[in-house]
Amino acid sequence: MSSFWNEQRVVVTGGAGFLGSFVVEQLRAKGCRDIFVPRSKDYDLVQMDAVQQLYRDYAPDMVIHLAARVGGIGANQANPGKFFYDNLMMGAQLIEVGRQRGLKKFVALGTICAYPKFAPIPFKENDIWNGYPEETNAPYGLAKKMMLVQSQAYREQYGFNSIVLFPVNLYGPRDNFDLETSHVIPALIRKCAAAHEAGRPSLTLWGDGSPTREFLYVEDAAEGLLLAAERCEGSLPVNLGTGEEVMIRDLAVMIAEETGFTGQIEWDRTKPNGQPRRCLDVSRAKEAFGFQARHHLREGLKKTVQWFQANRKTLREVHF
């Protein structure tokens, strides 16, 4: 095991959230003894004075920035201004104060929503600026993409050491299963499970089922992020994913099977589909820091459904 983490003082923003909880667990398993997870009630990272206080209180060697205002299509449509402003200010201020205080490394998590709506498949990092993002989540995607601009500008002018990773949609145990704000997999799991338990003959889902998506199991995402934090240098964007895409209608069938729902799946074509296709070129991550996802989609879905069924009474929900 590498000794890299043994003496690192690490702040993990969003460390009590979905991905963050797995990142903190893996940090501890790797020997990191000095981890601080700021909570929003104590440090509102949208406010500059709170960001400055965080750095004063903890004096980290590394910041892993996972905190975000994020949700599915519905949440993005309802909160475009809030998603833009809050995500922009958190990233910009954490990087700026980190620069001022001589932070050794800043690790930022971007989003696949930053890619152009009609980027060629698979999405290559060099195509990230070749068009406007899909409209329903563009404010969120662009706010997160500004961390890449800042990372590159600060490295050029100040020598500030930061990296920005662009993951596909994450899923797994401890996800947000609130139907108003969740992403597609937890929403489908909850809807299919409820339809099965109620004995409904059919289930109606948004769109027409034709878009494709790529999904990364949360434990794999945490592993990739920490490999990058340890080994990746330079401010080029780096994709995190599996390189495998699935059509939403096929995903719905898989989740129905895992939850026991045997009714008809119908599609409400008056609702938006979102981006037509999403699939990443993941070669840069493999070359730069040796990351390759371990979980295939069906295996990850099975684990996620099992966790959901066992934790129905304590599900994490997010409201804006």
In the annotation, is 115 catalytic? no
Q: Exposed, middle or buried: residue 129 (CB in 10 Å: 0-12, 13-18, 19+)?
A: middle
Q: Dihedral (C-alpha) 226, 232, 238, 243: value to the nearest 10 degrees?
A: -60
- Which residue among the candidates 43, 115, 140, 171 is catalytic per the annotation? 140
Report residue 246 as tokens. 């699935």
Please report the sign of the dihedral spanned by the C-alpha atoms of residue 15, residue 17, residue 22, residue 28: positive
State how far the Cα of 295 lies from the Cα of 297, in Å rounded to an integer.
6
State how far the Cα of 108 lies from the Cα of 16, in Å rounded to an integer.
16
CB 87 within 8 A of CB 69: yes
Residues classed as catalytic = 140
